[in-house]
Amino acid sequence: MMKRTRWAFGAAALVFAALAATPAAGAADQAAGLVARLDFFGPPGPAFAYAGDPITMRISLANEGASPWNNEQGIDLAGGFVIERGGGDAVGVKTQPVDRKQQPSLIAPQAFFGQTLDVAAIARTPLAPGTYAIRWQGLGVISNTFTVKVIPKFDAAAKYVATLETDYGTLEFDLRSDLAPKHVQNFYNLSYQGYYDGTTLHQIIKGVELRGGDFTLTGKDFPPYLLDLEIAPNLKHQRGTLSMIRLGGADLDSSSQFVITLAAIPQYDGGLSIFGQMSKGEDVLAALESIPTTGQIQPPYYRPIRPVSLRTVTVRKAGEAPGL
């Protein structure tokens, strides 16, 4: 039976643990049991970072073999990072002097050591918005790969517009970052990550609402975090209002599932967090509202008979041309 390697870490930037010293292994034994693991530290959900912000990752090397691993020369942990932008273009990284006093000279079986660092800081050029594949490799081993999306930084003082491109045309919404800043920022983050692209509207109730933002189409799925309510008493649900689904029995909102109301719904006022209002696309909204559904009054409720795709969801600053 394979022994479980102990992946436990403290708060220090450089963490290592070597068990009792034992005779060094021969060169042929060196890489046989070495395992590299990469961890990402960031907001819950898909890995992303704002341009210019740190991308905090931890590289750990564990000896899962039966023989000790000789590390007398030390390892340039920063220099082992490989950063590739979408398309395979490599971004060079800065090497760092190896301080052998900060690394164990021997890694005993089932022991490990590692380092936590800012990958953005060791990149030779700034990481512009885009998608990056990040891994560590060296000593004959390759770690797991993280896909990290770098997105433009959210400006809490700016006004934003969301565009939802559907099979039936485009809906545009003025977002209320003044009254629901966390919801707008969350929608911004997810849109730049492409979270909504290719999803479908899973519920349409004519004269009441549309619902989207759930990959499973069950109305139960969302990223692994929740949002605090942002209820603005002066905002009311009317036709074309964009708000977030509230979890039953909790003062928390879903992190991705949204509602677009098709009429004034007073019972939603004060209960759902409104973060946008439709400004363009009434003809599209009317077409979506008229799509035939199952009419089912138990889960899955009122699912469209023909899938209605959200091709893309984008958010831009008000006044910017679409696509910038």
pLDDT in tens, the chain (324 residues): 333 333 333 333 444 444 333 333 333 344 568 999 999 998 777 889 999 999 999 999 999 999 998 999 899 999 999 999 987 899 999 988 888 888 999 999 999 999 999 999 999 999 999 999 999 999 889 999 999 999 999 999 999 999 999 999 999 999 999 999 999 999 999 999 999 999 999 999 999 999 999 866 555 556 668 899 999 999 999 999 999 999 866 788 888 899 999 999 999 999 999 999 999 999 999 999 999 999 988 777 899 999 999 999 999 999 887 765
124 shares a domain with 40: yes
CB 95 within 8 A of CB 64: no
Residue 253 placed within a domain: yes
Residue 324 placed within a domain: no
Residue 2 placed within a domain: no
pLDDT the model gives residue 257: 92
Residue 4 placed within a domain: no
Residue 269 is part of which domain span? Answer: 160-317
CATH number at residue 141: 2.60.40.2970
CB 71 within 8 A of CB 17: no
CB 229 within 8 A of CB 271: no
pLDDT the model gives residue 49: 95
Residue that finishes a domain, picked among 99, 127, 151: 151
CA-nearest of 35, 2, 20 to 68 is: 20
CB 237 within 8 A of CB 266: yes
130 shares a domain with 95: yes
181 shares a domain with 133: no
pLDDT the model gives residue 220: 57
23 shares a domain with 130: yes
* pTM of the complete model beyond 0.85: no
Residue 165 placed within a domain: yes
List own/partner pairs for 288-294 with CB under 8 A and 24 or more apart: 288/166, 288/168, 288/201, 288/204, 288/210, 289/204, 289/206, 289/207, 289/210, 289/262, 290/206, 291/204, 293/203, 293/204, 293/205
pLDDT the model gives residue 294: 92
CB 60 within 8 A of CB 54: no
